[in-house]
């Protein structure tokens, strides 16, 4: 009888052990099932972060450069102060030692027509509207003695006269463009006569060629 009880006790222990093992196996399976759910959740988060990061940087990179370039091109307009001064410089670089006696801006063809005197010889030179490149030139015979005398008396050069006139006109409203400049004697006073176009209105200035004062006639 005692032997039979011992066998039952061992059998019960075996059953309990089997139940415990199956319970442990079930617990071990649960973390493995949760792992794919964590991986799946991480993917959308990364994709969303990438989209948010890319969009603002793209917009911020393009807008400032466009505004800056637009501003740079508006301040360097053909026919403006910078272009007219560049045209004088371009011609004098080609005709070293010469003097520019007259410069006219042809708005229709967007070119500067420049008269330069070098070694008592006149040259007619055409420069593009930006004042950078000579597009045509020809010799135009000997300069008049009166022109040579007037250039010899002038202590203010044509480019300096143009600078002073644009400075004088800087208070004017609207677009200011160069028209023409030439040396002229009036009532015993030698002046650079400089004409501007201010919002399609002609404006004439006189720059004393000996001492540089500016007088407006408009």
pLDDT confidence bin for 76, thresholds 50/70/90: very low
At residue 9, does pLDDT exceed 50?
A: no
Averaged pLDDT score across all residues of the chain: 76
Whole-angstrom Cα distance, residue 32 to residue 34?
A: 5
- Dihedral in degrees, nearest 10, Cα atoms 119, 122, 123, 126: 130
Overall pTM > 0.85: no
Residue identified by tokens 């600078």 is 163
> How many Cβ atoms are within 10 Å of 181's Cβ, its own excluded?
26
Quote the pLDDT of residue 218.
63
Quote the pLDDT of residue 172.
85
Q: Identify which has the larger pLDDT, 194 or 65.
A: 194
Could you tell me the two tokens for 16? 């309990």
Quote the pLDDT of residue 66.
38
Which of 143-149's residues contact partners 24+ apart within 8 Å by CB, and which partners?
A: 143/101, 143/117, 147/101, 147/117, 147/183, 148/117, 148/120
Alpha helix (H) residue ranges in 75-175: 81-94, 145-153, 158-168
Quote the pLDDT of residue 150.
94
Determine contact, residues 213/207, Cβ cutoff 8 Å.
yes
pLDDT more than 70, % of the chain: 65
Q: What are the CA-CA distances from residue 11 to residues 7, 79, 133 (Å)? A: 6, 111, 110
At residue 13, does pLDDT exceed 50?
A: no
- The residue-averaged pLDDT of 147-163 equals 96
Q: Identify which has the larger pLDDT, 159 or 63.
A: 159
pLDDT confidence bin for 180, thresholds 50/70/90: very high
At residue 199, does pLDDT exceed 60?
A: yes
pLDDT more than 90, % of the chain: 57
Quote the pLDDT of residue 103.
98
């Amino acid at each position: 009888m005692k032997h039979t009880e011992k066998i039952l006790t061992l059998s019960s222990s075996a059953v309990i052990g089997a139940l415990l093992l199956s319970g442990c196996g079930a617990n071990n399976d649960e973390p493995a099932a949760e792992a794919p759910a964590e991986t799946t959740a991480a993917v959308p988060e990364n994709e969303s972060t990438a989209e948010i990061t890319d969009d603002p940087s793209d917009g911020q990179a393009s807008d400032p450069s466009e505004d800056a370039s637009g501003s740079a091109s508006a301040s360097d307009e053909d026919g403006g102060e910078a272009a007219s001064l560049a045209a004088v410089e371009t011609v004098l670089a080609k005709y070293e030692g010469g003097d520019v006696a007259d410069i006219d801006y042809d708005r229709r063809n967007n070119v500067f027509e420049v008269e330069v005197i070098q070694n008592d010889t006149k040259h007619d030179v055409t420069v593009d509207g930006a004042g950078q490149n000579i597009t045509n030139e020809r010799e135009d015979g000997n300069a008049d003695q009166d022109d040579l005398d007037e250039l010899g008396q002038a202590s203010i050069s044509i480019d300096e006269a143009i600078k002073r006139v644009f400075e004088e006109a800087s208070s004017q409203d609207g677009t200011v463009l160069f028209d023409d400049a030439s040396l002229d004697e009036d009532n015993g006073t030698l002046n650079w006569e400089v004409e501007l176009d201010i919002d399609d209105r002609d404006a004439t200035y006189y720059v004393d060629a000996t001492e540089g004062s500016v007088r407006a006639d408009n």
